């Protein structure tokens, strides 16, 4: 009897193909939106989680109350930092000089992301990120497994005015950059100095390339260039990077407090905390995504409800005959609800396919999967289909189950 009832419900669910198609379409739109937005949110959560895990013990310091480009830390900043109480937790320290003027090459670089450094997704300038230049000590950079340990062509700089460049700079096909070629670096638009490219280093994944430095050179070269650019002679680092043996952001924050008590006074930033702070943005995005999803999916559920209500109204004679021939109220109710569940699950399946198709379409050509379909999203899709199917079929099903055969027959 149960199998026959299910077969009967499946047959009736597709009796009016146009109405069913519209109901499925309405449900599918909402589910597709949910899948796309949820996958984007899950992807960003994964990227941020990995970034926090990688940088949980990383801290940066610069001169207190001073802009980064004007900051000057003493050359013995490593020795000063190692005077903190938790000095035994320090894994590595690296002094860095932020080098000016390399943004002038922005027009000659195109990233594989399809974004020119001068043009961001919102029209904002990305050249300062894409063309960051740093002066670092090779032995200190090695402790962080930095770019100087990832040379894929050429060699490390050995002399003044020699630099190594990121691999993505060459990938754009610009004739300005080539191994063993010399660049003319303009100084305050008045004269130029020759900079020779001696090596190429490998950068990270596509989505993070613009966050890495594009040019690296010796500390001495960087100080020479900045002293020509700035209205004063630069003699120290702009910032220092510190890596602690830390298992959590909270533990790192205790080391941050110790650094803040040092003299000379420092501005201290926990890299992991900054990245973790971005999670609040993702949370806001998730809230908006949930609201939009509920609205769209409920709208799709209403389409199923209206379709079922209209179908039941047209089939009252049929239900009267079913009751007169021995069908029980709960069997008729189950029949109508099951019809709604079939439509709901079908709409969810179609919506999931559309949403997943849009997601994978957006990933074509990208080396990094920044959108992720999780098992939670799949379960949520099934839950929406099942839940809205039951809710949409309940009232029409009760109405069908309460039909009185004699009253219907008299009205024929």
Which of 50-59, 125-134, 194-203, 209-218: highest mean pLDDT?
194-203
Residue of 199, 191, 134, 194 lying closest to 160 (CA atoms)? 194
| 237 & 300 share domain | no
| 290 & 166 share domain | no
237 vs 228: CA distance, rounded Å: 16
- Chain centroid to Cα 217, Å, comes to 31
78 vs 61: CA distance, rounded Å: 11
Greater confidence (366 vs 77) lies with 77
- Give 113's DSSP letter: T
| 156 & 178 share domain | yes
Q: Is the pLDDT at 72 greater than 50, yes or no?
A: yes
| 23 & 79 share domain | no
Over range 265-279, report the average pLDDT.
77
Segment 331-356, tens digit of pLDDT? 888 888 888 888 888 888 888 888 88
| 45 & 23 share domain | yes
The dihedrals phi and psi of 254, each to the nearest 5 degrees, come to -70, -35
Segment 97-143, tens digit of pLDDT? 999 888 888 877 766 554 444 444 444 444 444 578 999 999 999 99
Q: Is residue 161 part of a domain?
A: yes
For 245-332, strand residue ranges (E) read 266-270
Looking at residue 119, its pLDDT comes to 46
Lowest mean pLDDT among 86-95, 97-106, 311-320: 311-320
Greater confidence (394 vs 151) lies with 151
| 44 & 64 share domain | no
Greater confidence (233 vs 35) lies with 233
Q: Is residue 250 part of a domain?
A: no
Residue of 235, 234, 242 lying closest to 259 (CA atoms)? 242
Q: What total number of domains does the chain contain?
A: 2
Residue that is last in its domain, among 220, 245, 270: 245
| 343 & 401 share domain | yes
Residue of 324, 284, 331 lying closest to 405 (CA atoms)? 324
| 230 & 205 share domain | yes
| 284 & 232 share domain | no
Over range 236-263, report the average pLDDT.
93
Share of the chain above pLDDT 90, in %: 33
Q: Is residue 294 part of a domain?
A: yes
Q: What pTM, to 2 d.p., does this model score? A: 0.63
| 220 & 127 share domain | yes
Q: Is residue 258 part of a domain?
A: no
Looking at residue 122, its pLDDT comes to 44
Residue of 93, 338, 115 lying closest to 206 (CA atoms)? 115
Q: Is the pLDDT at 33 greater than 50, yes or no?
A: yes
| 32 & 74 share domain | no
Residue that is last in its domain, among 228, 245, 262: 245
Q: Is residue 99 part of a domain?
A: yes
Lowest mean pLDDT among 82-91, 141-150, 320-329: 320-329
Over range 132-159, report the average pLDDT.
94
Are the C-beta atoms of 164 and 148 separated by less than 8 Å? yes
Q: Is residue 374 part of a domain?
A: yes
Q: Is residue 308 part of a domain?
A: yes
Task: Report which secondary-structure segment, H or E, holds 187.
Answer: strand 182-187
- DSSP three-state, residue 210: helix
pLDDT mean across residues, the chain: 81
| 295 & 219 share domain | no
Domain range holding 179? 58-245
């Amino acid at each position: 009897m149960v199998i026959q009832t299910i077969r009967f419900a499946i047959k009736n669910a597709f009796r009016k193909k146009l109405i069913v198609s519209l109901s499925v379409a309405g449900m599918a739109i909402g589910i597709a939106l949910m899948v796309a937005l949820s996958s984007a949110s899950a992807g960003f959560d994964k990227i941020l989680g990995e970034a926090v895990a990688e940088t949980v013990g990383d801290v940066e310091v610069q001169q207190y109350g001073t802009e980064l480009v004007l900051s000057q830390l003493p050359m013995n900043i490593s020795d000063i930092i190692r005077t903190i109480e938790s000095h035994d937790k320090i894994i590595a320290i690296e002094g860095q000089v932020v080098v000016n003027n390399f943004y002038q090459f922005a027009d000659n670089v195109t990233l594989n992301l399809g974004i020119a450094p001068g043009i961001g997704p919102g029209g904002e300038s990305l050249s300062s990120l894409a063309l960051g230049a740093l002066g670092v000590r090779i032995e200190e950079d090695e402790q962080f497994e930095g770019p100087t340990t990832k040379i894929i062509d050429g060699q490390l700089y050995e002399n003044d005015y020699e630099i190594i460049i990121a691999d993505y700079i060459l990938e754009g096909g610009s004739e300005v950059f080539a191994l063993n070629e010399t660049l003319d670096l303009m100084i305050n638009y008045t004269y130029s100095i020759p900079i020779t490219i001696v090596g190429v280093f490998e950068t990270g994944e596509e989505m993070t390339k613009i966050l890495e430095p594009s040019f690296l050179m010796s500390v001495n070269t960087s100080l020479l260039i900045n002293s020509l650019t700035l209205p004063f002679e630069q003699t120290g680092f702009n910032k220092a990077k510190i890596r602690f043996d830390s298992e959590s952001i909270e533990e790192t924050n205790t080391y941050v407090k110790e650094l803040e008590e040092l003299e000379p006074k420092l501005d201290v930033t926990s890299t992991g905390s900054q990245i973790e702070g971005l999670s609040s943005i993702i949370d806001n995005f998730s809230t908006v995504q949930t609201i939009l999803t509920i609205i769209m999916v409920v709208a799709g559920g209403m389409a199923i409800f209206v379709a079922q209500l209209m179908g039941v109204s047209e089939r009252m004679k049929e239900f009267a005959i079913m009751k007169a021939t021995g069908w029980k109220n709960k069997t008729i109710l189950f029949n109508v609800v099951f019809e709604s569940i079939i439509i709901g699950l079908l709409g969810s399946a179609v919506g999931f396919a559309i949403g997943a198709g849009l997601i994978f379409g957006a990933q074509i050509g990208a080396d990094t999967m920044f959108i992720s379909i999780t098992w939670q999203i799949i379960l949520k899709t099934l839950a929406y289909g099942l839940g809205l199917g039951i809710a949409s079929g309940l009232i029409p099903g009760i109405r069908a189950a309460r039909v009185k055969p004699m009253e219907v027959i008299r009205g024929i």
